[in-house]
Structure 1
Amino acid sequence: MKVVCFLPDSIAFQNKLGMLTRSAGVNFQPCTSEEEAKVFATNERKDRFFLFAEAKKIDFLKDFSANYPECRIVVILQESLQRVIPSLIDCSNIQCFVATNNGEFDARELIMLLKKFESKDYPGLEKHLNFPAVFKEKRIKSQSDKRDAIKILEEFILKIGGNSDRFDQYAQRVCDLADELLLNAVFDANPRLKTADRSAPFELIDTESVRIKWGFDGEVFGLSVADPFGSLSKKTVMQYLDENQKTEHIGKRDSGGLGIKLIFERLHHYIVNVNPGKMTEIVCLMRFEKRFKDFDKRLRSFHYFKVEDSQ
């Protein structure tokens, strides 16, 4: 696997990224200019390769995306994702936006990205949590199933924190997030229920059932919800995350879109895995900070993986 990196304004970050990727056996090529990055891309365009570049290099990213469609682009964020979405929303091969917090990135997030890219094996909450991790899983087919799952989830988080006030706040936040994810999976993803009242009781047949799973490895809490439809596009997600976008202009139900914004505000890493027509899995990762107010200070990462035809 080959990576070209254009981070001329963050040399220390680029060097650290280089050490990390080389340790994973990746061919890492740092570039000091746009021209140098394009020469690398021209020479490697017959093969699958990856570009790491800063979000503020908007014109370069748009040009690179258009001219090298076979490339997969990882954008390094030093500001909120919502601010860069309007400029990059139409770049189809930008898959990942990696947040840096105070100039630092989450090393294991990048290692996971590289592993996913290399293996093309995208789904699975287990990939994102270290071993040993404790997991719980529930299958949702009705309103009562959803209610029971959220109650078990709340008890799981409270138990982690020894019923402290801080973890009571985390439990509320995660349960709100889980409820919204499940509503989106049950109603917005399902063609049969797309126009139904989201507050009404529901009954799903076996082939429509939704799976919720969560786990904790002592450092990171993860939650995933999967539906069997595989219809969520990257552009749809980014449109709803755009803080300037009016949801009524997108052509979809406001409820689902507002839900995506709510979800994004309650996590640190938002990962969408899609197997078209077969499965959409939303993975949410968050660190339970020592102080609850520190939770919202972290920038959010966004990753979108679509199962490739060659798989």
Structure 2
Amino acid sequence: MVTRVLLLGDALALRPAQRVAACFGAEIERRDPDLHLFDKAKAFAPHVVILHLEGLGEYRRMVMERMATLPGAPPVIVLAETSPPPCMAELLERPWFDHLMGLQAPWFMEELAVTLATLTGRPLFGLEKYLPWGSRIVEIPIGGSADKDPAFDRITAFMEAIGIRGRLVDRLCALADELLMNAIYDAPVDRRSGEARYHGLPRSTPVALDPDERPVLRFGSDGQRFGLSVRDPFGALSPTTFKGYIAKGLRGGEDQIDAKVGGAGLGLYLLFSSLGTMVLNVHRRQQTEVIGLVDIRGSFRDLQRAPRSLHVFERR
């Protein structure tokens, strides 16, 4: 079956996305936003919508409010010149919003190709999708909180071997720490009751996981980007909760971030604000995987200024 891709917004800004979709073999239709946009879009019946946020102009509000009315609820990929855009918190509250990409991101076209492939049925899980073929990926099973520091030592050694040291390596280890904290303390649930097993524990409390609870840390690089992922065997993190935490963090304020004992909200927001690309893959009640990608060609300051991308995929 040929995938139908609807492009909305400025033609010039959408040209790289159109090229990727064409290479994907898609049937493509591009529309400028107007009052009759959704009548035309319904006639085309897209499988995927790629939306240039800044190109919507005065029709942005209408598009955001009516996107969920498209038949079949096609996934929507939002492209933004500034990423995250000022309206990011509002976007995260829209039920149709699961994908944001910065048009200035260093691996924009490669990431869009992976996103289109995943949305149209290709395998959901795997860090290797986001790194070039042949990139070495290290895999470390995590038996509990005591395994974190040895894992960070291996990340440090890996980065030193490719000539990277200092603050950037410290940041990568901190990101891995956040991912592992969530997988060790927040992800495990009782298989019968569905109740969280360790969520209320202080993060300083040692936890040894049962064999069927253990997450897997993976990391690798092609010398330009560094990728890491943590996969747990529960599939308990809902996309709505995930997006809600990030929205609260973006809004700020004392009541906005779940920073209480055992809370995962602050960690997820910090991950989004630190990674170039953040991906949540959920197979409900089976597996959860969070993937992070970072451009390692520049300085620590470059990392802080980099555009952000976010993807949420769920299968049931």
The alignment's TM-score, normalised by the length of structure 1, stands at 0.88
Does the 8 Å CA contact 2:279/2:312 hold for their aligned counterparts? yes
The residue number in structure 2 matching 1:110 is: 112
Match of 1:97 in 2: 100
Question: Which whole-Å CA distance do the structure 1 matches of 2:91 and 2:273 have between them?
Answer: 20
**Cross-structure match for 1:297:** 305
Q: Identify if the C-alpha distance between structure 1 residues 143 and 291 changes in structure 2 by more than 3 Å, giving closer, same or farther.
A: closer
Within the candidate set 174, 187, 190, 1:189 is matched to: 187
Report the 3-state secondary structure (helix = DSSP H, G, I; strand = E; otherwise coil) of the residue aligned with 1:225: strand
Q: Is the 8 A contact 1:289 1:295 kept in 2?
A: no
| Cα contact 2:258–2:265 (8 A) shared by 1 | no
Contact 1:65 1:91 in 2 (8 A): no
User: How far is 1:16 from its partner?
Assistant: 2.7
Task: Extract unaligned runs of 5+ from structure 2.
Answer: 189-195
Query: What is the DSSP-based 3-state SS (H/G/I as helix, E as strand, rest coil) of the residue aligned with 1:119?
Result: coil
Partner of 2:170: 172
Show CA shifts across 1:133-174 (max 9, x none): 01101111122222211111111112111xx5xx32221010
2:50 pairs with 49, 52, 64, which one?
52
The percent of aligned pairs where both chains have the same amino acid is 25
1:1-311 correspondence runs (5 A): 1-8=3-10, 11-35=11-35, 37-45=37-45, 49-56=47-54, 57=56, 58-68=60-70, 70-81=73-84, 83-101=86-104, 106-161=108-163, 164=164, 167-190=165-188, 191-242=196-247, 243-246=250-253, 248=255, 253=260, 255-307=263-315, 309=316
> In the TM superposition, what is the alpha-carbon distance from 1:64 to its structure 2 partner?
3.0
Q: Distance in 2 between matches of 1:92 and 1:253?
A: 27
Contact 1:269 1:284 in 2 (8 A): yes
1:205-238 Cα deviation digits (max 9, x unpaired)? 0111011000112322110001112122233222
- Residue 261 of structure 1: SS of its match in structure 2? helix
RMSD: 2.2
Conserved in 1, the CA contact under 8 Å of 2:223 and 2:296? no
Conserved in 2, the CA contact under 8 Å of 1:53 and 1:61?
no
CA distance in 1, matches of 2:101, 2:9: 13
Contact 1:99 1:105 in 2 (8 A): no
Distance 2:242 2:88 in 1: 10
State the distance in 1 between where 2:302 and 2:92 align: 29
Give unpaired runs (5+ residues) of structure 1: none
Corresponding residue SS for 1:51: strand
Distance, in Å, in 2 between the alignment partners of 1:241 and 1:83 is 14
* Contact 1:65–1:92, Cα closer than 8 Å, also in 2: no
CA contact (8 A) 1:18 1:28 kept: yes
- How far residue 260 of structure 1 moved from its aligned partner, in angstroms, is 1.2
Which amino acid in structure 2 is aligned with residue 281 of structure 1?
Answer: E
How far the C-alpha of 1:290 sits from its partner, in A, is: 3.0
